[in-house]
């Protein structure tokens, strides 16, 4: 066996240092957009975020002031609708994949869910436009919520499945050995043990669809006023930002910056909440 | 080696062994006839016939992979959780066929409880909740009844004095040995007729093991107990009957004193004396 010479050693160290530097620069490049976006939003939008922004309706063009209260509430309503449809379907689908499905069916469904996760969100908008908006002859909060739900379902399905598979088999066996039925074991033992992971998945899915604009353009459409009728078009923060950003008015541009700042902060807060939840995992998994 | 007869006589004088002429007492909780089990195409149990005595401890010994856990799990249909299993033969519990088509496995498991190798108290529940969860999920709502059963089960599992002030603490906060006794209490709470134990002490230190063994000795006054163990000394200490399994077959079955002092089969003797396995 031949040992390397000092020369080889130096060259190896150089290569190692080079690789390390490239990796570090890449990491910085990955993180920097987040910092840049957030910093720019703060500079441009922070000045327009005030009490009025959260409590007032948009003003007509040329009238200063006003806010996006209807869009913030509208976004929350849309998320609630999406959650009502998407959470049960996604969670139960995940339970099916992890607990019941045969190996072949499960892998087919898993593959489909992954494909669905990769579909551009505007496609969902068009699908729902065809399915609901055209049929019921009008844009509506229902259609918007449904489109967001369709995006959420595969996301929640996959995370739910993954955390359920993390629950050790010993707990299922212990429960079944007590004469507890299969579905009660799943609901009271498996889902309870995996609950933090499932809630994390739901929150991340909500954060993801909360910022979706494209699927709402064809469905919820947006609204300049308060709307409490879910079968009518409803305002949403991302649509409002879009409308204001492409307008020619400086006043509206400032509002759009403020809206974007609020939206990003909201998503950021949800992610922080998720971190907190997963850190105090205690006895339960993931 | 001392003469086997002598040892049997000694044990007889101490009153721990059944009389030799009535090796198996008449009452049988389980009657297993010609049981064979396949996992997919692999045969795990090969034509086993044995009766399990009521209110006695039966130990199942044998090298790893000999089918002893499979046999144990077949006694409350837990082996069915593994996909593609097939069973032939009959298992009678108090004369009733466990595998007849109108029997719900959940009901079987309520009558035949199981304690596992790795203690597994439910991590989201307190000590108290862990004990009564079987009753609660089987539809028992009566708080007074649940509290009574909670205390009774923990007392029977010799854990009450150690945890009575900590019932609201998580079950996972207990030590390994305490967790295993908690799991035994959880099994006792649904009042089964039989307790199956799958190497209940193999993850425990000697002191915790001694406590569980003592507990098994006390429990056999009320319950039929079947336990799988890798530990020869333990089988000798706690069991009345011993079954030796090898490669899926029941090689020898009889009174523990006989198996350990005067085995009929060469394979049994070789295994017990540590020549293989």
Domain boundaries, chain B: 4-18+28-272
> What pLDDT, on the 0 to 100 scale, is given for residue A214?
92
Residues of B with Cβ-Cβ distance to A282 under 8 angstroms: 123, 170
The alpha carbon of residue A176 is apart from the nearest alpha carbon of chain B, in Å, by: 7
Interior/surface letters A74-87, b for 16+ CB within 10 angstroms, e for the rest: bbebbbebbbebbb
For residues B128 and B105, what is the distance between their CA atoms, to the nearest angstrom?
26
User: Are β-strands B85-93 and B28-39 bridged in parallel, bridged antiparallel, or unpaired?
Assistant: antiparallel
The alpha carbon of residue A167 is apart from the nearest alpha carbon of chain B, in Å, by: 10
Interior/surface letters B199-210, b for 16+ CB within 10 angstroms, e for the rest: bbbebbeeebbe
Residues of A with Cβ-Cβ distance to B172 under 8 angstroms: 283
> What pLDDT, on the 0 to 100 scale, is given for residue B26?
56
Asked whether B239 and B225 are in contact (CB, 8 A), the reply is no
Nearest CA in chain A to B132: A178
pLDDT tens sequence across A217-241: 999 988 888 888 888 999 999 999 9
Compute the CA torsion angle A68, A85, A278, A76 (nearest 10 deg): 10
> What pLDDT, on the 0 to 100 scale, is given for residue A224?
86
Nearest CA in chain A to B73: A177
Nearest CA in chain A to B83: A102
Between B4-8, B137-141, B240-244, B270-274, the lowest mean confidence (pLDDT) is in B4-8
For residues A128 and A113, what is the distance between their CA atoms, to the nearest angstrom?
18
ipTM: 0.85
Which residues face B196 on adjacent strands?
B114, B226
> What pLDDT, on the 0 to 100 scale, is given for residue B124?
92
Residue B3 has pLDDT above 50, yes or no: no
> Does the distance separating the beta carbons of B124 and A284 come in below 8 Å?
yes
The alpha carbon of residue B235 is apart from the nearest alpha carbon of chain A, in Å, by: 24
Whether A280 has its CB under 8 Å from any CB of chain B: the answer is: no
Neighbours of A1 (CB within 10 A): 2
> Who has greater pLDDT, A200 or A228?
A200
Residue B57 φ then ψ, to 5°: -100, 125
Residue B221 φ then ψ, to 5°: -70, -25
Of B109, B123, B183, the CB nearest to A179: B109
Structure tokens at A246: 């492409």
CATH of domain B4-18+28-272: 3.40.50.300
> Does the distance separating the beta carbons of B120 and A173 come in below 8 Å?
yes
For residues B121 and B146, what is the distance between their CA atoms, to the nearest angstrom?
18
> Does the distance separating the beta carbons of A284 and B106 come in below 8 Å?
no
Structure tokens at A143: 């259609």
The alpha carbon of residue B78 is apart from the nearest alpha carbon of chain A, in Å, by: 7
Please tell me the number of Cα atoms within 13 Å of A225 on its side-chain side: 4
User: Are β-strands B112-115 and B194-198 bridged in parallel, bridged antiparallel, or unpaired?
Assistant: parallel
Q: Could you tell me which residues come within 8 angstroms of residue B225 by beta carbon, excluding any fewer than 6 positions away? A: B56, B57, B58, B194, B195, B196, B197, B216, B219
For residues A237 and A222, what is the distance between their CA atoms, to the nearest angstrom?
9
Residue A282 has pLDDT above 70, yes or no: no
Which residues face B90 on adjacent strands?
B33
For residues A264 and A183, what is the distance between their CA atoms, to the nearest angstrom?
39
- Count how many residues are written for chain A: 286
Of B116, B134, B186, the CB nearest to A170: B116
Which residues face B253 on adjacent strands?
B243
> Does the distance separating the beta carbons of B133 and A188 come in below 8 Å?
yes
Residue A97 has pLDDT above 70, yes or no: yes
Q: Could you tell me which residues come within 8 angstroms of residue A254 by beta carbon, excluding any fewer than 6 positions away? A: A44, A45, A47, A48
Q: What is the mean pLDDT of residues A46-50?
A: 88
For chain A, percent of residues with pLDDT exceeding 90: 69
Q: What is the mean pLDDT of residues A102-119?
A: 90
> What pLDDT, on the 0 to 100 scale, is given for residue A229?
87
Between A23-32, A234-243, B9-18, B119-128, the lowest mean confidence (pLDDT) is in B9-18
Residue B255 has pLDDT above 90, yes or no: yes
For residues A243 and B216, what is the distance between their CA atoms, to the nearest angstrom?
74
Structure tokens at A268: 């950021």
3-state SS, chain B, equals CCCHHHHHHHHHHHCCCCCHHHCCCCCEEEEEEEEEEEECCEEEEEEEEEEEECCCEEEEECCCCCCHHHHHHHCCCHHHHCCCEEEEEEEEECCEECCCCCCCHHHHHHHEEEECCCCCCCCCCEHHHHHHHHHHHCCCCCHHHHHHHHHHHHHHCCCHHHHCCCCCCEHHHCCHHHHHHHHHHHHHHCCCCEEEEECCCCCCCHHHHHHHHHHHHHHCCCCEEEEECCCHHHHHHHCCEEEEEECCEEEEEEEHHHHHHCCCCHHHHHHHCCCCC
> What pLDDT, on the 0 to 100 scale, is given for residue A281?
52
- Count how many residues are written for chain B: 277
Residues of A with Cβ-Cβ distance to B122 under 8 angstroms: 171, 174-175, 189, 192-193
> What distance separates the 2 farthest-apart alpha carbons in chain B?
58
The alpha carbon of residue A225 is apart from the nearest alpha carbon of chain B, in Å, by: 46
Neighbours of A20 (CB within 10 A): 10
Domains of chain A: 53-279 (1.10.3720.10)
Residue B5 has pLDDT above 70, yes or no: no
Q: Could you tell me which residues come within 8 angstroms of residue B109 by beta carbon, excluding any fewer than 6 positions away? A: A176, A177, A178, A179, B76, B77, B78
What letter does residue B79 receive in the DSSP assignment?
G
Residues of A with Cβ-Cβ distance to B103 under 8 angstroms: none
Of A171, A177, A192, the CB nearest to B78: A177
Whether A105 has its CB under 8 Å from any CB of chain B: the answer is: no
pLDDT tens sequence across B130-163: 999 999 999 999 999 999 999 999 999 999 999 9
The alpha carbon of residue A96 is apart from the nearest alpha carbon of chain B, in Å, by: 16
Q: What is the mean pLDDT of residues B169-194?
A: 94
> What pLDDT, on the 0 to 100 scale, is given for residue B2?
41
């Amino acid at each position: 066996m031949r040992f390397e010479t000092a020369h080889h050693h130096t060259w190896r160290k150089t290569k190692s240092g080079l690789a390390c530097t490239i990796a570090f620069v890449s990491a910085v490049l990955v993180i920097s957009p987040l910092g840049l976006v957030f910093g720019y939003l703060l500079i441009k939008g922070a000045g327009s975020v005030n009490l009025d922004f959260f409590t007032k309706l948009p003003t007509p063009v040329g009238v200063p002031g006003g806010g996006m209260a209807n869009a913030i509430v509208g976004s929350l309503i849309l998320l609630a609708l999406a959650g009502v449809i998407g959470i049960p379907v996604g969670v139960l689908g995940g339970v099916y994949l992890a607990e019941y499905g045969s190996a072949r069916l499960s892998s087919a469904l898993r593959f489909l869910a992954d494909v669905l996760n990769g579909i551009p969100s505007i496609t969902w908008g068009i699908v729902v436009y065809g399915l609901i908006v055209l049929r019921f002859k009008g844009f509506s909060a229902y259609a918007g919520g449904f489109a967001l739900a369709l995006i959420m379902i595969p996301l929640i399905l996959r995370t739910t499945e993954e955390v359920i598979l993390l629950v050790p088999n010993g707990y299922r066996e212990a429960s079944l050995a007590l004469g507890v039925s299969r579905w009660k074991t799943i609901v009271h033992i498996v889902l309870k043990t995996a609950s933090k992971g499932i809630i994390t998945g739901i929150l991340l899915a909500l954060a993801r669809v909360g910022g979706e604009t494209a699927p709402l353009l064809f469905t919820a459409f947006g609204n300049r006023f308060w709307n409490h009728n879910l079968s009518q078009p409803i305002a949403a923060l991302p649509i409002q930002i879009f409308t204001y950003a492409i307008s020619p008015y400086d006043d509206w541009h400032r509002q759009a910056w403020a809206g974007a700042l609020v939206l990003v902060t909201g998503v950021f807060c949800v992610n922080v909440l998720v971190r907190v939840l997963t850190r105090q995992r205690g006895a339960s998994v993931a | 080696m001392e003469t086997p007869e002598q040892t049997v006589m000694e044990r007889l004088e101490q009153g721990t062994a059944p009389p030799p002429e009535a090796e198996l007492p008449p009452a049988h909780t389980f009657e297993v006839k010609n049981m064979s089990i396949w996992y997919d195409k692999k045969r795990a149990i090969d034509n086993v016939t044995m009766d399990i005595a009521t209110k006695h401890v039966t130990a199942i010994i044998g090298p790893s992979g000999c089918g002893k856990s499979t046999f144990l799990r077949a006694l409350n249909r837990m082996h069915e959780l593994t996909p593609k299993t097939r069973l032939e033969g009959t298992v009678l519990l108090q004369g009733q066929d466990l595998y007849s088509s109108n029997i719900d496995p959940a009901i079987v498991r309520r009558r035949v409880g199981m304690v596992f190798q790795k203690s597994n108290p439910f991590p989201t529940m307190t000590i108290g909740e862990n004990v009564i969860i079987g009753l609660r999920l089987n539809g028992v709502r009566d708080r007074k009844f649940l509290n009574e059963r909670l205390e009774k089960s923990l007392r029977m599992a010799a854990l009450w004095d150690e945890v009575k002030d900590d019932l609201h603490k998580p079950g996972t906060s207990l030590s390994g040995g305490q967790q295993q006794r908690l799991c035994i209490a959880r099994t006792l709470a649904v009042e089964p007729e039989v307790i199956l134990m799958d190497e209940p002490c193999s993850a425990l230190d000697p002191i915790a093991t001694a406590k569980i063994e003592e507990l098994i000795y006390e429990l056999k006054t009320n319950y039929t107990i079947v336990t799988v163990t890798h530990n020869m000394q333990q089988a000798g200490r706690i069991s009345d009957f011993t079954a030796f399994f090898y490669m899926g077959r029941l090689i020898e079955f009889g009174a523990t004193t006989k198996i350990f002092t005067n085995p009929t089969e060469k394979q049994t003797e070789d295994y017990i004396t540590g020549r293989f396995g």
